[in-house]
Structure 1
Amino acid sequence: MILSVALLVPWATGAVLVALDGRRRAVGWLAVAVLAATFALLAVLTAQVLAGGSQEVVTGGWPPGVGIVLHADMLGVVFALLSVLVLLAATTHEVLAGIEERVFPGLVLLLAGGLTGLFLTGDVFNFYVFFELAMTASYVLTAYGGGRRQLRAAMVFTAVNLLGSFIFLLSVAGTYRVTGTLAMLDVGERMAVVDPNAALLIATGFFIAFSVKLGLFPFHFWLPTVYAGSSPAVAAILSGAVANIGAYGLLRFGPTMFPAQLRLVGAAIVVLGAVSLIYGAVLAVARGDVAESLAYSAIGQVGYVLVALGVGGPVGLTAAVVYSVVNALNKTLLFLAAGIRGPLVAGAFAVGALSVAGVPPAAGFVGKLEMFRAGIVVGSVPLIVLLTLGSGLSLVYMFQMYQRAFWRAPAPAGPASPLPLRLLTTAVALLVLAAGVWPEPLLAASGRAAEGLLPGAAG
């Protein structure tokens, strides 16, 4: 019951709020309340999955294969909970600062519905449907503000991601052609007897589509323009919630549906992740603008997720889940804090900067620790050196950003509600600190999620 309601609440309310004037404070706060209710429902669902294992329901009472199959396991609920939390923080930020366009609250709720359905479906085609619903809302949100930079960012984002969606759809068609099913668990079983070349081609299509969403090198060219050109709230949404589509897709489709292909190209994936990690870090150091540096930092940070995916196994997959969660929280905090000033905000930005660099007690330290643990388990000295170099570079560019934003920059005109905005960023910073000081819930949930991805795990 909760599984269906958690999907229905944001979708139904979003369809109503799109028709209302979102610039009215009451409409904005209603969207915040709906997101908070969705987060609460997902929290209860997460507790149920932790206690009793995965849940599955076919909507409308239809037989499997006809109705929409919703499947909640630990990986799905972790990403759904994370994404709604990011949307809640970004929407609250925008309501406090003053919403500029009437459709913003409704679009965020529709995005929440699309993301929740995407993370909680057990069918590849339904994944694609929710995928497109989420991306359609994202295309419009990228133009939020209506300025030249926003419109340019929206054009680039839409063009590139439509290409990624087309490649994804071709891969979905190929999957059905060679397996005769689109149920994720069945695809994983039947793909083992499919022609290896066909399976590798389909897996490559999915990999490209998800890499475009993440902004991994060499599919990164759109990301700096979009993240730097968007408003702080939209940049937080894109980097902290929408980018989760790519991370989740790689984790869900790789080990579950294409385990043999993932093992075959594991070393190449590690190399590609390493290149993305170093490339993003070096460009972040070289940029003089805070928004651009954060954008290139996003390219480098998702490289860690790809490296962990390539390492594989329980340790590697756990590290990938942990780092995906931590990275989403870090980027949300940093993008929201970059546009405002004040002692509280400076402290919040410092927490985010230390977290990206992997300095305790911030949550980023836990993510980096899991990455180093994966390198030690596989006994790879080059991987440990890479992680050390990446952490050092991230410390350099985050220190540079902090200097530009809070030491040398003149104080801009304050936002409409400065104190509430500062308290909001402080609350997100405290969450990042709490995840570092008390990492056991995150580690336990990530470990359970990784176990569910391994071959032979129960659905």
Structure 2
Amino acid sequence: MTLLATVLLVPWVAGALLVGLDGRRRPLAWSAVAVLAVGLVLLVALTVRVASAGPVQLVTGGWPAGVGIVLRADALGATFAVVSQLVLLVAAAHEAIPGPRARSFPGLVVLLAAGLTGLFLTGDVFNFYVFFEVAMTASYALAAYGGRPRQLRAALVFAAVNLLGSFIFLLSVAGTYRITGSLAMADVADGVLRAGANAGLLVAVGFFVAFSTKLGLFPFHFWLPTVYAGSRPAVAAILSGAVANIGGYGLIRFGAGIFPAQLRMAATALVVLGAASIVYGGVLAVSRGDTAELLAYSAIGQVGYVLVAVGVGGPVGLAAAVFYSVVNALNKALLFLTAGLRGPLVAGAFVVGALSVAGVPPAAGFVGKLTLFRTGVAAGSPALVVLLLVGSALSLLYMFMNYQRQFWRSDPAAGTTVSPLPRRALVAVLALLVLALGLWAEPLWQLSQQAADLFARESG
């Protein structure tokens, strides 16, 4: 059994077992954390192998290509799989410390890990959709975690909007098969090139709408504040730091890998939409007094940077998009997990996340913003560089304002409460990881460059 198959089999088997048991029991909750930790180790090992030896591909069950499920691990998919698994691991541990409030929570997180891992490591468009739906089904249930009206309302909005996105995605899959006669990603990419840019334009737009809805890009953001602010901190961290990676990964994989000609045609529009997300999210975040709402609007602004980098394209733009997607996922997970907590460790962790979002050294966000500035310089656009500076200034402003409100209060009863030490230590460890990526960014940057090189022929 290969390493590639093992990273999928472990969460599938464990998730199927755990989802039927009472996850409110501490041993079961921690067993889910252990499964996620094993999965993370396997994914890191797979990523190291991919980085050193190149992509790995496997057709499951010994079936011929085109019949069996095609699994393919390359630098892009492995990178997104690792960061998503890490976020799920931290969020699961965050809830396991006091004990989950719902029996299904640990099992659902593990099944979500299985769906996301399969999605990032598949080489077939239809299988991507299947894993996409598995991940989304688990996400719908997790959004209701807590059972209060606010969480149930968030789950209803999340399910309604994303079911519409899934329908649009399925229509796009059908359109892809119609114009190419294949669903294997490599064959689809060649078929789209032969069919011409105009033939695949409508299909490409469908995929873009589906992924933009998942990311919460302007103007597809209308659902995001309600869901992120209404969910419990661990669930908000999962949705923003792991599930939202579907959108960023999909824009890069499908845009640069399958529809490169359509991506070049729409480059200006993508940059404009990304700029609108940056400004809109930043301005609305400044006006919010609630931490969860502020972080929700901040998430809208931060994904705009990824879209700008994808719109610029080329090796520099795509590498910046991959790098910033990873950093942004960690930032959002860290900041949402600090919501509702107090204490010096939490305050320090929040400062690290805030500096990273604003692009201030030595946090990882500083290196991420530098890669984006390189994108603006490579595009020869002073306006783009100015936009990035304005967005960073807005981020620093609303993060500092929130830090004052959340951690400078003299009356603890007026705001949040002190959390158990293990929870505070957990967010501190995640903050140290964000700092470490800022101080030693070379491995992640090399992976990002390898991911961009996969599309060098198409995005040139």
Instruction: Return the TM-score normalized by structure 2.
Output: 0.98
Match of 1:428 in 2: 430
Q: Secondary structure at the match of 2:84?
A: helix
Counterpart in 1 of 2:352? 351
SS in 2 for 1:71: strand
Give, in angstroms, the shift of residue 373 of structure 1. 0.7
Please list the CA deviations of residues 281-330 of structure 1 after superposition, one character each: whole Å capped at 9, or x if unmatched.
Answer: 00000111110000000000000000000000000001100110000000
| Contact kept? 2:256, 2:458, Cα under 8 Å | no
| Alignment partner, residue 445 of structure 1 | 447
SS of aligned partner of 2:71: strand
Deviations 1:126-166 (A, max 9, x none): 00000000000000000000000000000000000000000
| Distance across 2 between alignment mates of 1:428 and 1:339 | 17
Report the equivalent of 2:367: 366
Change in Cα spacing, 1:58 to 1:410, as seen in structure 2 (3 Å) is farther
TM-score by length of 1: 0.98
| RMSD, matched Cα | 1.1
For residues 181 and 96 of structure 1, do their structure 2 counterparts lie closer, same or farther at Cα, with a shift above 3 Å needed? Answer: same
* Equivalent in the alignment of 1:107: 108
CA distance in 1, matches of 2:368, 2:350: 18
Residues 197-220 of structure 1 show CA distances to partners (whole Å, capped at 9, x for unaligned) of 331000000000000000000000
Q: CA deviation at 1:338?
A: 1.4
Residue identity over aligned pairs, in percent, reads 69
Amino acid at match of 1:426: A
Secondary structure of the equivalent of 1:181? coil
Residue 275 (structure 1) aligns with: 276
Q: Which amino acid aligns with 2:200?
A: A
* CA distance in 1 between partners of 2:161 and 2:98 (Å): 30
Distance 1:136 1:123 in 2: 20
Is the counterpart of residue 119 in structure 1 residue 120 in structure 2?
yes
Report the more deviating stretch, 137-146 or 404-413.
404-413
In the alignment, is the contact (CA less than 8 A) between 1:256 and 1:454 conserved in 2? no
Mean Cα deviation higher: 251-260 or 402-411: 402-411
Instruction: Determine the C-alpha separation between the residues in 2 that align with 1:171 and 1:206.
Output: 6
Which residue identity does 2:9 align to in structure 1?
L
Alpha carbons 1:145, 1:231 under 8 Å: kept: yes
* 8 Å Cα contact 2:340-2:417 kept in structure 1: no
Instruction: Report which stretch shifted further, 199-208 or 57-66.
Output: 57-66
2:204 match: 203
* 1:17 counterpart letter in structure 2: L
Deviations 1:59-93 (A, max 9, x none): 11111111100000000000000000000000000
Amino acid of the structure 1 residue aligned with 2:438? G
Q: CA deviation at 1:414?
A: 4.5
Matched letter for residue 212 of structure 2: S
Q: Give the equivalent residue in structure 2 for 1:307.
A: 308
- Contact kept? 1:362, 1:432, Cα under 8 Å: yes
Task: Say whether the 8 Å CA contact 2:257–2:458 is kept in structure 1.
Answer: no
Q: Deviation of residue 386 (structure 1)? A: 0.3
Structure 1: which 5+ runs fail to align? none
Q: Please say if residues 217 and 304 of structure 2, whose CA atoms lie closer than 8 Å, have aligned partners that are also in contact.
A: yes
Is the CA contact (8 Å cut-off) linking 1:10 and 1:34 kept in structure 2? yes
CA contact (8 A) 2:29 2:99 kept: no
**How far off its partner does 1:195 sit?**
5.0
Using the TM superposition, name which of 386-395 and 400-409 deviates more: 400-409
Matches within 5 A, 1:246-325: 246-325=247-326
* Cα 1:373–1:409 shift into 2, 3 Å: farther
Give the aligned residue type for 2:422: P
Task: Please give the per-residue CA displacement for 1:154-186, whole angstroms capped at 9, x wherever unaligned.
Answer: 000000000000000000000001100011111
Preserved CA contact (<8 Å) 1:316 1:371: yes
Deviates more, 1:176-185 or 1:405-414: 405-414
1:92 and 2:93 correspond: yes
Alignment correspondent of 2:77: 76
In 2: Cα distance, 1:456 partner to 1:64 partner: 24
